[in-house]
Amino acid sequence: MPSHFEQSQLEQYSLLLNQSILEENFAAFKQLTEQELNPSNLAYIIESNPSNQRIAIWENLTESIQYEIIPYLNDELQASFLKNLSPEKIKTATQDLERDDLADILQQLPDRISDQVLGVMTPKDRKDMEVLLSYDEDCAGGLMNTNFISVRANITLEVVLRFLRRHSDLPEQMDCVFVTSRHEKLVGILHLSKLLTHEPDLTVREVMNSDIEGIKVNTSSNEVAHLFERHDYVTAPVVSNDGTLVGWITVDDVLDVIREQADHTVLSFAGLDEEEDTFSPAFKSSQRRALWLGINLLTALFASACAFLFEATLDEIVALAVLMNLTPSMGGIAGTQTLTIVIRGLALGHISKNNIRWLLGRELIVGFNNGLLWASVIGIAVYFWKASIGLSIIIGVAIWINLIIAVITGTLLPIYLKKKGIDPALSGGVILTTITDVVGTFIFLGLASIVLLS
Amino acid sequence: MPSHFEQSQLEQYSLLLNQSILEENFAAFKQLTEQELNPSNLAYIIESNPSNQRIAIWENLTESIQYEIIPYLNDELQASFLKNLSPEKIKTATQDLERDDLADILQQLPDRISDQVLGVMTPKDRKDMEVLLSYDEDCAGGLMNTNFISVRANITLEVVLRFLRRHSDLPEQMDCVFVTSRHEKLVGILHLSKLLTHEPDLTVREVMNSDIEGIKVNTSSNEVAHLFERHDYVTAPVVSNDGTLVGWITVDDVLDVIREQADHTVLSFAGLDEEEDTFSPAFKSSQRRALWLGINLLTALFASACAFLFEATLDEIVALAVLMNLTPSMGGIAGTQTLTIVIRGLALGHISKNNIRWLLGRELIVGFNNGLLWASVIGIAVYFWKASIGLSIIIGVAIWINLIIAVITGTLLPIYLKKKGIDPALSGGVILTTITDVVGTFIFLGLASIVLLS
């Protein structure tokens, strides 16, 4: 079974998988999920589908494949699939997970369920888990695993080799064993490559790297990521404040930190958080984005209030000049939110022609909802200000239409640009705001000309 | 020598280092650079300093320390420091670099110099380098190293162990050896952890993982990053189109790809590219950002032109209403550029109280330059439109002042927010644009009231 496919092959498989479900062709589904696709590819396909298809694929998988896929899904999906299982099943489903990943999942689950899962563990496992759960998710303690291997400095490599041979299930990522004192203090690191290239009768002390300092257990994840980047670590030991070795961090978890941190920055610029999934449902997505639009409305009103101070200067239809910037501004923000989500989705390879239509539909609903919400608010406010029902309707309608145009542009523009080989992150924003500015100004003043001056 | 410090300790060291240079206290400089700081920390400190200090630190280092630091510097700095050295010195300086990193540097150097460097290499090294240089920097071939170790499937682990013991300098990151057929086709991977935990008389074939497919040499870096993330690889083999093993990629290079890709997205939103270094000099930085402001001006003019269509509706001092959005808009874009650079600098840990003053000074120069440029352009254009020298000066001055206020806000706001524990990426943008909108509108209309209506 091939271990990885190109993007385009995975898109093809995603299509076939959805087709087999629609056509209730269970033989094809079984062939695809049990023969052709491995768990990490299946997880990727699930993540690249809107929620209904996600659930349909998930529910058609055999239990044992579900268990294999769990580790490859993002935290939010893991929690959403797991929370419907009994504590025993969760335990089975997660038994192959690394401890730190399991701790992340337990933190996502409702307390009641995570307590039950801890309840069915062996006392030792439970104690280990409780230690991991006691650390903040965003620090070295939350990233580490506790299944490290440590040896003493005074033994020979021969003894280490014999010792390792007794462990049949060394983690594949393990590139070193840690060297500790009798009091479990970290004193060095012995890389497997050194272990393999030195004479077996040398002692650990003669071969180990003692230049190394452990990462303190309460170091922030960001700082951990910097250390890995700066020092090109694959694994690093984690120590308590008194230097006792308590765990180790592997680079795969650091990759996730960097990816999340990067996502966070990109999404934050549009007032979104990293929980924002490309395919979260319209209603949830509307809610998350509505607040940001409201904040923007408030701040745009500051500028309007400022213009209003100069009423004498702009005396004729002062209201028009004062309110002129609101429609383009709201459209710009709503469009940027959509654009950011779509660009991130493209970067992660989650968007393909299989799901553009779904995405556009979702965005239309979001634009419709949030447009209606803020158009009503501003319409009512303007009515109280000027007691002009005409002006009130004009600005409301202009904002509503502009928001809908903004989300359509925000969805289709980056996909189109990418297809043409133009970088959507660079040129998408400026094209989008030009469209929302021009359309917003045109609709608002155009409606005003027709309604108020006729 | 401790291998890593916390952020705050490094800031302290950076201060001490600069002080020792200013005071010409060479004993202190020597103590710091040769005893207390290791190469990766020194590289980090150099990257966190403005260009004059960078050069001062660099030039005071001994040649051997310079050589040790090179691998830890970013590509642009490597190239800028190396291009002043003779080809022989470059060869010495880069001899400990991994091949892929050396290839990246050679690609950055002027062709004339890189040819000379190739000229002083041994024929074998030169041939290896030329193969690496033939691949695009942004594909698997550009990321890979060629110093992998491959074995045949039919030998025993005992033989592999003996074979490895002869290599005294296995790369620390090596977590596996590759298994190839007689025709150098990749047939499997033998993880060192498996090699260590299985009986030495088993054959490689019995223990190796044959589920693995190599990454094709022309796969894009982004796709490579996705594969590493999805499959939690530490290293992965690279194969030519016919399946011949040609190299391997290690996760540290993939970390860089993810970091660069993330940087690219964040910076692109403000019209910047990932070459934009937090501490690049004011003039270079002004140039890079001026174009984006010009594009924004053009697009904001579309909206103005649109408002102009409704001259009848906005008939009194139509010019004011039509031009009202330009000043806030330009300020918003200039401020966002600064904000983006500062937020990225904070995320990378490059900004500290040691260099805020320098950064603010640089930003003031950039704001002054770009403000003057676009204020003149729009002032002249308005003069031709309305033949009003007053209006022309008003809009020019308003844009200029607003751009300067925007860059000050863009620099200090995120630093202040971070200090208060507020996420600058989330709230920085909205606070900044509120300030630039309000100040921009106020200055423009305020000046207009004073000058035109008095």
With beta carbons under 8 A apart, name residues in chain A contacting B441: 303, 306-307
Average pLDDT over residues B403-422: 89
User: What is the nearest CA distance from A249 to chain B, expressed in angstroms?
Assistant: 13
Of B161, B197, B213, the CB nearest to A170: B197
Report the top-level CATH class of B7-143. mainly alpha
Distance from CA of A112 to the nearest CA of B (A): 31
pLDDT tens digits, residue range B72-97?
A: 887 778 888 887 777 778 877 777 77
- Contact state of B231 with A40 under an 8 Å Cβ cutoff: yes
A261: nearest CB among B212, B229, B347:
B347
Confidence band of A9 (pLDDT split at 50, 70, 90):
confident
Place of tokens 């990766």: B40
pLDDT at A274: 60
Q: Is the pLDDT of residue B296 over 60?
A: no
Contact B262 A264 (CB under 8 A): no
Closest residue on chain B to A449 (Cα): B313
CATH no., domain B269-452: 1.10.357.20
Contact yes or no for A230 and B1 at CB 8 A = no
pLDDT at residue A294, as a whole number: 61
Identify all chain B residues contacting A40, using CB atoms and an 8 Å cutoff. 230-231
Per cent of chain B over pLDDT 90 is 10
**Whole-angstrom Cα distance, residue A1 to residue A68?**
15
| B446–A310 CB contact, under 8 Å | yes
* Whether B276 contacts B288, CB under 8 Å: yes
What average pLDDT does this structure show over B353-382?
84
- The enclosing H or E element of A89 equals helix A87-93
CB atoms within 10 A of CB B365: 16
State the pLDDT at residue B2: 44
The answer to whether the CB of A320 falls within 8 A of the CB of A453 is no
Q: Calculate mean pLDDT across residues A298-320.
A: 58
What digits encode the pLDDT tens for the residues B140-177?
A: 988 888 888 889 999 999 999 888 888 767 777 778 89
**Averaged pLDDT, B55-72:** 85
| DSSP one-letter string for A226-238 | HHHHHHT-SEEEE
Q: Assess whether the region B7-143 and the region B269-452 belong to the same CATH fold.
A: no
Determine whether the interchain pair A255/B251 forms a contact, defined as Cβ–Cβ distance below 8 Å. yes
Backbone dihedral angles phi then psi of residue B271, each to the nearest 5 degrees:
70, 25
Residue A440's closest chain B neighbor by CA? B303
Name the more confident of A199 and A99.
A199
- Please say whether the beta carbons of A204 and A161 come within 8 A: no
Cα angle B422, B427, B430; round to 5 = 155
Domain formed by A269-453, architecture: Orthogonal Bundle (1.10)
Q: Are A118 and A106 in contact (CB under 8 A)?
A: yes
Question: Which of B165, B175, B434 shows the shortest C-beta gap to A197?
Answer: B165
Chain B CB contacts of A167 under 8 Å are 197
Residue A238, pLDDT above cutoff 90: yes
Q: Which residues of A touch B433 (CB under 8 A)?
A: 299
Burial A78-113 (b: 16+ CB within 10 A, else e): bbbbbeebebebbbebbeebbbbbbbbbbbbbeeeb
Mean pLDDT of A68-85: 80
CATH superfamily of B150-259: CBS-domain (3.10.580.10)
Contact list, B167 vs chain A (CB under 8 Å)? 197
Q: What is the CATH number of domain A150-250?
A: 3.10.580.10
Q: pLDDT value at position A48?
A: 80
Closest residue in chain B to residue A438, using alpha carbons only: B303
Given this model, what pLDDT does residue A151 score? Answer: 92
Provide the pLDDT for residue B273. 63
Q: Which residue of B has its CA nearest to A434?
A: B299
Contact criterion met (CB < 8 Å) for A251 and B251: yes
pLDDT of residue A283: 61
CB A436 within 8 A of CB A402: yes
Q: Per-residue DSSP letters for B4-33?
A: ---HHHHHHHHHHHHHHHHTT-HHHHHIII
List strands edge to edge, sheet with B215-216: B215-216, B235-239, B245-250
**Main-chain phi, psi angles of A60, to 5 degrees:** -85, -10
Chain B positions touching A339 (Cβ under 8 A) are: none
Query: Chain A to chain B, count of Cβ pairs less than 8 Å apart?
Result: 297
Distance linking the first and last C-alpha atoms of chain B: 72
Lowest mean pLDDT among A200-204, B196-200, B306-310: B306-310
Chain B residues with CB-CB distance to A231 below 8 A: 3-4, 40
Closest CB from A4, A219, A313 relative to B453: A313
pLDDT score of A122: 82
Question: Tokens 């359309």 identify what position?
Answer: A439
For chain B, what is the mean pLDDT? Answer: 80
**Helical ranges in B121-209 per DSSP H:** 123-133, 140-143, 157-165, 192-197, 204-207
Cα of A231 to nearest chain B Cα, Å = 7
Percentage of chain B lying above the pLDDT 70 cut: 85
Ranges of each domain in chain A: 7-143, 150-250, 269-453
Question: How far is residue A247's CA from residue A141's CA, in Å, rounded to a whole number?
Answer: 8
Listing DSSP states for B140-158 in one string gives HHHH-BS---EE-TTSBHH
Residue A135 CA: distances (Å) to CA of A129, A144, A145, A149, B126: 10, 10, 12, 21, 51
The closest CB to that of A303, out of B256, B343, B438, belongs to B438
Contact A392, A380 (CB under 8 A): yes
pLDDT of A401: 93
Contact B325 A325 (CB under 8 A): yes
Q: In angstroms, rounded to a whole number, what is the distance separating the alpha carbons of residues B167 and B160?
A: 11
- Residue in A closest to B325 by C-alpha: A325
Closest CA to A320 of B453, B434, B307, B436: B307
Q: What is the mean pLDDT of residues B403-420?
A: 90
CB contact under 8 Å between A265 and B229, yes or no, is no
Chain B residues near residue A445 by CB distance under 8 angstroms: 306-307, 309-310, 313-314
Query: Does position B408 have pLDDT exceeding 90, yes or no?
Result: yes
Is A325 within 8 Å of B321 when comparing Cβ atoms? Answer: no
Q: Is A255 in Cβ contact with B258 (below 8 Å)?
A: yes
B294 sits in which H/E element = helix B282-308
The three-state (H, E, C) secondary structure of A34-64, written as one string: HHHCCHHHHHHHHHCCCHHHHHHHHHHCCHH
What tens digit of pLDDT does each residue of B333-356 get?
A: 888 878 877 887 777 777 777 788
Task: Specify the higher pLDDT residue, B245 or B305.
Answer: B245
Chain B closest CA to A248's CA: distance in Å?
A: 15
The pLDDT value given to residue A2: 44
Residue A171 is predicted with a pLDDT of 75
Asked if B171 and A193 come within 8 Å (Cβ–Cβ), the reply is yes
- Predicted confidence band at B301 (pLDDT cuts at 50, 70, 90)? low
Between B272 and A320, whose confidence is greater? Answer: A320
Q: pLDDT per residue over B217-272, tens digit each?
A: 989 888 898 888 878 888 899 999 888 999 999 888 888 888 777 777 776 666 66
Residues of A in contact with B171 (CB under 8 A): 193
- What local confidence, expressed as pLDDT, does residue B1 receive? 37
More confident residue, B109 or B315: B109
Alpha helices in A324-388 (DSSP H): 326-347, 356-386
Check B313 against A449: CB less than 8 A apart.
yes
Question: Given an 8 Å threshold on Cβ–Cβ distance, is B167 in contact with A343?
Answer: no
**pLDDT band at B331, cuts 50/70/90?**
confident
Most confident stretch, A156-160, B13-17, B126-130, B131-135: A156-160
Q: Do B265 and A192 touch (CB under 8 A)?
A: no
> Which pairing describes strands B235-239 and B245-250: parallel, antiparallel, or unpaired?
antiparallel
The confidence band for B277, taking pLDDT boundaries of 50, 70 and 90, is: low
Judged by CB atoms closer than 8 Å, whether chains meet at B219 and A313 is answered as no
Predicted local confidence at residue B315, as pLDDT: 52
Which chain B residue shows the shortest CA-CA distance from A234?
A: B173
Return all residues near A273 (Cβ < 8 A) that are at least 6 apart.
Answer: A264, A267, A288, B426
The residue in chain B having the minimum alpha-carbon distance to the alpha carbon of residue A260 is B262
Under an 8 A CB cutoff, do B320 and A321 touch? yes
Q: What's the mean pLDDT in A30-56?
A: 84
Render the burial of A402-431: b for 16+ CB within 10 Å, e for the rest: bbbbbbbbbbbbbbebbeeeeebbbbbbbb
Is pLDDT larger for residue B212 or for residue A144? Answer: A144
| Cβ contact, residue pair B44, A425, below 8 Å | no
List the single range of A139-153, A156-170, A235-249, B302-316 with lowest mean pLDDT. Answer: B302-316
| Two tokens, residue A15 | 């299509």
| Set of chain B residues whose Cβ sits within 8 Å of the Cβ of A435 | none
Q: Measure the N-to-C terminal CA separation of chain A; round to a whole number of Å.
A: 72
pLDDT at B281: 61
Cβ contact (<8 Å) for A193 and B199? Answer: no
Give the pair of three-digit tokens for residue A166.
């007794």
* Record: contact A171-B193, CB cut-off 8 A: yes
Q: Own/partner pairs for B240-244, CB < 8 Å, 24+ apart?
A: B240/B216, B241/B216, B241/B217, B242/B185, B243/B185, B243/B186, B243/B214, B244/B183, B244/B184, B244/B185, B244/B186
> Residue B180: what pLDDT?
93
Output A133 or B158, whichever has higher pLDDT: B158
